[in-house]
Amino acid sequence: MFTSLKNKIKEETGNEVPALPARLPSSSGSRYSRGRLSSAASIASLDDWEQKETEINNLRVQCNELTSKHCELSARLEKLEEEKSRLEKTNEILLESVRVAQTQKDLICAEQESIQNIQQAEIAKLKSLLSFREQEAVDRLAVIKTNQQQIDNLRTELERLKPIEPMAEDLKDELERFRHSAQLEKNNLTTTLAAVEEENRHLKSRLQIVDQSRLEIVASLNSDEKVQALAQERKLLEQHLEEAHLQLSDIKSSWSGQNLALETQLSRLSKQVAEETTEKRKAIKARDEMSEKVKQLEFDLAKWKEEVQQRDNKIALLEDEIDELTSALRECRLENEEEVAFLRNKVESQNEEILDLKNRLNAADERFNEFVEKSEQVTQALRKQNTSLQEQLQNITNAFETEKQEKLTALLRNAEISQSEEILKKELRIERNEVTELLDKVEELEKALRTKDDEILVLNSKLEELSAAISSQSDQIAHVNDLHTQLNEKNKSIKVLNQRLADLKKTLQNEIKSSNFSETNVLMAGSVIGSEKAIHNEIRSNGNSTGGSIIMDEVNFKYLKHVIVKFLTSREVEARHLIRAVATLLHLNTEEEKLLHDTLTWKMSWFGTKPDHGHGQRAFSIPPS
């Protein structure tokens, strides 16, 4: 029981409750004195609570009076707003009727002008149509005559070229036969020449070997030396045999290239023959088309004659319609003049009604100004009452907090009458909530007063705007028209900008596609042929993932060693194919790769110049010490 009370007091006050002294063995006298003290304290606290209740009731009565005054003011404001809205609606209706009358008048005038313009335009169109059709008929007759002359010329040209066609085909066949025979003779001569050169070289090498062996045999008479000489001769012959095999392979590769060239030449000749046949077919097809065009032109000529007859009939009908339109136009003019007179009378009556409404609006403005002055006086009185009430509430709350502290200490000392204390505590909380609610209501009343002041200012501004709008209505119409034109121009500019944005997007997409295509081409060009391609891709992926640094594991090192050994031990033709693989594995730049290529061509040539390896620090390789 006591611990719960201590916790509640600690939560409300925020301070810890001082510990009570230990209870000593008490007598009946001490109990009696404590009972007297507790009863006196409870009586005093009850008197204080009654005084607070009376003060709170007074505050409630004052708040109710303020709310009733506020309701009356709000009701008056609502009535004024309703009257103002009604007047605005009537004014808008009258303005709309004036606008409708003006638009009808403008429409009638525009219709009269448009009818006159249409009549004149139709007559001008008919005249221009007649002259245009006559000129068109003359032009078509001239075109038909020129086409007929061209057809006759083409027919005579075809009859003249028919006997020459087989002669041209025979000459072409004979020319191809001569070309083929000349090519065969040339190929035979080249083969025989190569065979003779090969035999001469082979015989020269054999003569050299025989001369060397004969000199060695004459110089030495021992049998052991003879055996050694024979062995050396055998080695030399084997070397020459290997060289002959290599030369034979080179000759085979060159002959395969020549065979490919001959095959390409044959395919080219066959294509030429096919093209000539297609051209012949095209000429025949053109002849047939020209004959069909002649028939079509004859058919069109007959059709055009019929159309000219039909248009003459249409012109006669249109002349009758023009007479009918002139009579209808006269009738429309008479009707429009009557309507214009009626609308003028209507506009004058509406102008009188507008003047009456303006006088009524001025009277309403005067009444509203009087009401605004009265409401300002009432609001000032209410604000003064509100400030006095707030000061009283502040004093009450301060006294309430001091009494609360005293009451808490009394509660701890008088634990025996805890039930009555708890009841009083509940009443305190209820009253405190009521006080807070009263404070909230006072704040709401202040806010409502502020909003009403703002509404009064807004109503004043609206009245001023209405009076200004009635006087400057024509200026607003012109301003609205200017705004419409500006809006149309802005819409056009927005459309143009959207079109430009779409074009930019398309160009950007095309550039991105082209850049992606070029990147793929570069990567494909850098790849190595055959079995080297997979390992090269693996090395490149490793280099990209580690930020350009190559992880030389065992497989890549073996492949690098294999490629370099193959490059150093192979012939020049094979080494040239391996330059790209070596440059990729060793990350050589374009200058270093070009240096390798130039060095190989220098070794293969007889009279070439040695490429420049650089000097000093700019040298491509470390010079020997």
Q: What is the reported pLDDT for 625?
A: 43
Q: What is the reported pLDDT for 514?
A: 52
Alpha-carbon distance of 555 to 585, in angstroms, equals 13
Give Cβ neighbours of residue 596 (< 8 Å, ≥ 6 apart).
579, 582, 583, 588
Task: Indicate the domain borders of the chain.
Answer: 156-318, 483-525, 526-618
Secondary structure of 130-185 in HEC code, one letter for each residue: HHHHHHHHHHHHHHHHHHHHHHHHHHHHHHHHCCHHHHHHHHHHHHHHHHHHHHHH
Lowest-confidence region among 26-35, 134-143, 154-163: 26-35
Q: What is the reported pLDDT for 437?
A: 74
Alpha-carbon distance of 503 to 497, in angstroms, equals 10
Alpha-carbon distance of 221 to 227, in angstroms, equals 11
Per-residue pLDDT of 468-498, as tens digits, reads 655 665 566 666 667 667 767 766 767 776 6
Nearest to 209 by CA among 197, 217, 219: 217
Per-residue pLDDT of 525-548, as tens digits, reads 343 334 444 444 444 444 444 444
Nearest to 66 by CA among 444, 510, 417: 444
Per the prediction, the chain carries an average pLDDT of 69
What token pair was written down for 207? Answer: 């003569």
Q: What is the reported pLDDT for 226?
A: 66
Mean pLDDT of 201-220: 71
Alpha-carbon distance of 218 to 91, in angstroms, equals 145
The percent of residues above 90 in pLDDT, for the chain, comes to 0
Helix 223-413 with 2-13: angle, nearest 10 deg: 100
SS3 589: coil
Give Cβ neighbours of residue 546 (< 8 Å, ≥ 6 apart).
none
For residue 257, give the H/E element and its range: helix 223-413
Predicted structure pTM score: 0.21
Per-residue pLDDT of 307-340, as tens digits, reads 777 777 777 777 777 777 777 777 877 777 777 7
Give 14's DSSP letter.
S
Q: What is the reported pLDDT for 509?
A: 60
The answer to whether the CB of 5 falls within 8 A of the CB of 418 is: yes
Per-residue pLDDT of 102-124, as tens digits, reads 787 788 778 778 877 887 787 78
Count Cβ neighbours within 10 Å for each residue of 65-78 and write b for 16 or more, e otherwise.
ebeebbeebeeebe
Helix, strand, coil share (%) of the chain residues, nearest 5? 90, 0, 10
